Amino acid sequence: MLFSRRQIAFLAAGLLASVSFLANPAAVTAQTRAETLRQVTGGMINTLDPTAPGSTRESFGLSMSTYDRLFAFDRKKNGDGWIFDFNSIRGELAESYKISEDGLKIIVTLRKDATFHDGSPVTADDVKWSLDRAVTAKSLAGPQLTTGSLDKADQFKVIDPLTIEISLPKPDRLAMPNLAVVYPIIINSKVAKQHATPEDPWAQAWLKENTAGSGAYIVESWKPGEQVVLKRNENWKSGREGKLAFFKRVIAQTIPEAATRANLVERGDADISVDLPSSDVPGLMERGKVKVVSTPQFNALTLIVFATRIPPFDNKKVRQAIAAALPYGDMFKGALFGRGNPLQNGTWNGEPSEAKFPQNMPVKTDLARAKQLLTEAGYPNGFETTFSFNVGSAATAEPMAALIKESLLKVGVKVDIQKQPDAQMSTSVTEKKLPFFTESIISWIAAPDYYFRNFFTGEQRWNYSSWNNPDINSLSQAARFETNQAKYDEIIKKMVAIEADETPVVLLWQPNQDAVMAPSIEDYTYQFHRQVDFRDMLRK
């Protein structure tokens, strides 16, 4: 493979960073290459506090290894790798817990042996301060935890040094899962308070650039936007079965060029990358020098969005017509090279048999039906519209858009494709200005009612289609607090049926996350945050 000068520069920069690190005896100590994991990513770690506004996904991933939480999602085997198990929650700092019979209290007993990186014990006072911070400080944590009815500091009560009680206003299915996501990190409050000020009582400024956790790894050095080096916490007690992380050192480097990242892994100079384009993966697999663990992102999906309050997409039959005219098979191959899980060709009518979302919807390419629906909607000769996508997703969105334009023209709909820069697209989406566009969503909480409440209700940014259906509004709230599983399942089936009929969006697919790694790397886990989890991986 030939490299451009720019690619060679990035390759050299990545290798020099590794060489300079490995040339430092104080940094290397007794670590061997086998005991060091090197990740290369196109993104960057821009803060050490995952709750800070503007945190990147890479920062989220880092925090999972530097901080513990009370709970974590367990995992289950999936092909050559593992996937997080949303339905199984295990203790991390929690040694045990119990939920009161009325579902209003969660009593958590902490591990007796857990310590922070400075050696001080993890106490209920630290947990209380950390959860108070999560729901009180102006950060990303508050809005997320509110979805599990965790929104006030007085809900967290210290019972004794190793016991904390969490109170809920009513039983909430999402309270426990919310304690396992990225944001509710448990912070060494004694250290954080030393750096707090009257203007910054939660030490947010200091914690952006420093950590005070108890996690599997300790930050040894960090150059924002370039590289972070972690060393193993030899006193970590919250690992699976009490085990330490395998790797003694982790180097996570930002390498902007995808081709350079691919070559670093293929040459053995890096161990893993999870953000290479789908178009690159078949070639890497064919050459056989790397291992690829592909996982459909079952908590993420790509959508075609209709603005349900902007003509002509305020007409349900128009939305149904476009859905019938989309070239699903060609888009899946052209945009993703077939790497993922398509969400069409469901065989059910009326209500689905499964209480599941997302799932395969009862829609397929049918141009005759599309023309009929357009005629019934009052557009027998079609209409003109725009289709927008973010240039940051052009690798998949551009071929998708071209195929949409070609197919819709067959039913009389003329499409003007608009590519928008990231910031402009974000503003347009927020201001609800786009009539017809594509977006991707991800849900850390992989619960059907969570999808509906967050992406299909309310005057919020994430309700991309601005859909306002009274039945969905009431059913999604009812599902959240329904403790009877059979009744919950019936609510979900009703909501999925309404969405399929109303078609505010079209579910396209769940793309694969292709984790490209050295053949020696084992036990990779696809996590809800879609970043590399260093804690369970090992080298054989």
What mean pLDDT value characterizes the chain?
Answer: 93
Radius of gyration of the chain (CA): 24
For residue 285, tell me if it sits in a domain.
Answer: yes
Confidence of residue 461 (pLDDT cuts 50, 70, 90): confident
| pLDDT digit string, tens, across residues 324-381 | 999 999 999 999 999 999 999 999 999 999 999 999 999 999 999 999 999 999 999 9
Residue 439 to residue 390: CA distance in whole angstroms: 8
Strand partners, 49: none
What token pair was written down for 141?
A: 């944590």
Q: Angle at CA 336, nearest 5°, toward 330 and 342?
A: 70
Are residues 134 and 24 both part of a single domain?
Answer: no
3-state secondary structure of 250: strand
DSSP state of 505: E
Is residue 79's pLDDT more than 90? no
Q: Is the pLDDT of residue 12 over 90?
A: no
Do both 236 and 143 map to the same domain? no
Do residues 283 and 330 share a domain? no
Q: Chain centroid to CA 415: how far?
A: 31
Alpha-carbon gap, residue 395 to 439, rounded angstroms: 14
- 98-107 pLDDT, tens digit each: 999 999 999 9
Domain check: are 433 and 500 in the same one? yes
Q: Where is the domain boundary, 214, 231, 259?
A: 214
In 3-state terms, what secondary structure has residue 83?
strand
Please determine, for residue 468, whether its predicted confidence score (pLDDT) is greater than 60.
yes
- Residue that is last in its domain, among 193, 214, 235: 214
Per-residue pLDDT at 30: 45
Domain containing residue 355: 300-512
- Global confidence as pTM: 0.88
- Average pLDDT value for residue range 66-79: 96
Tokens of 498: 């309404």
Phi, psi of 368 (to 5 degrees): -65, -45
- Other Cβ atoms less than 10 A from the Cβ of 350: the count is 10
Answer yes or no: do 374 and 388 share one domain: yes
Q: Does some domain include residue 540?
A: no
Domain boundary among 172, 192, 214: 214
The tokens describing 144, both together, are 């997320």
Report the SS3 class of residue 255: coil
**Backbone φ and ψ of 166, nearest 5°:** -115, 125
Amino acid at 466: S
Statement to judge: residues 180 and 316 lie in one domain: no
The string of pLDDT tens digits covering residues 135-186 is 999 999 999 999 999 999 999 999 999 999 999 999 999 999 999 999 999 9
408 with 351, same domain: the answer is: yes
pLDDT given at position 222: 96
508 within some domain? yes
Q: Tell me the sheet residues that pair with 390.
A: 420
H-helix segments, 210-305: 258-267, 281-287
Is 295 a member of any domain? no
Q: Cβ distance 491 to 478 under 8 Å?
A: yes
Query: Torsions phi, psi of 145, nearest 5?
Result: -65, -25
- Residues 353 and 482 placed together within one structural domain of the fold: yes
- pLDDT tens column, 186-240: 999 999 999 999 999 999 999 999 999 999 999 999 999 899 999 999 999 999 9
Residues 60, 64, 68, CA angle at the centre, nearest 5°? 135
CATH number at residue 143: 3.90.76.10
Q: Residue 33 has what pLDDT?
A: 83
Place of tokens 């059979």: 486
CATH code of the domain containing 13: 3.40.190
Q: Residue 16 — pLDDT band, cuts 50, 70, 90?
A: very low
As a whole number of angstroms, the distance between CA 42 and CA 260 comes to 10
Q: Does residue 451 register a pLDDT over 50?
A: yes
Q: Identify the burial level of 343 via C-beta atoms within 10 angstroms of its C-beta, where 0-12 means exposed, 13-18 middle and 19 or more buried.
A: buried
Q: Kindly report, residue by residue over 286-339, the tens digit of the pLDDT.
A: 999 999 999 999 999 999 999 999 999 999 999 999 999 999 999 999 999 999
Taking CA atoms, 178 is separated from 144, 344, 416, 479, in Å, by: 8, 30, 41, 16
Identify whether residues 235 and 284 lie together within a single domain: yes
pLDDT for the residue numbered 225:
87
Q: Please check whether residue 539 lies inside any domain of the structure.
A: no
Q: What is the mean pLDDT of residues 9-22?
A: 40
The answer to whether position 334 is within a domain reads yes
Q: What is the DSSP pairing of strand 525-526 with strand 81-91?
A: parallel
3-state secondary structure 31-65: CCHHHEEEEEECCCCCCCCCCCCCCCHHHHHHHHH
Residues 359, 475 within the same domain:
yes
Q: In the 8-state DSSP scheme, what is residue 149?
A: T
Residue 538 lies in a domain: no
Task: Examine residue 286 and state whether it is found in any structural domain, yes or no.
Answer: yes
CATH of the domain at 329: 3.10.105.10
Structure confidence by residue, pLDDT tens digits, 122-131: 999 999 999 9
pLDDT of residue 31: 59
Using an 8 Å Cβ cutoff, are 355 and 488 in contact?
A: yes
Ramachandran quadrant class, 224 (left: phi over 0; alpha: psi -120 to 50; beta: rest): beta
Together in a domain, 270 and 193: no
Total domains present in the chain: 3
Under 8 Å CB-to-CB from 102, ≥6 apart: which residues?
171
> pLDDT tens, 388-438?
999 988 989 999 999 999 999 999 999 999 999 988 998 999 899 999 999
Q: State yes or no: cis peptide before 504, omega within 30 of 0.
A: no
Mark whether 522 and 502 lie in a shared domain.
Answer: no
CB 450 within 8 A of CB 174: yes
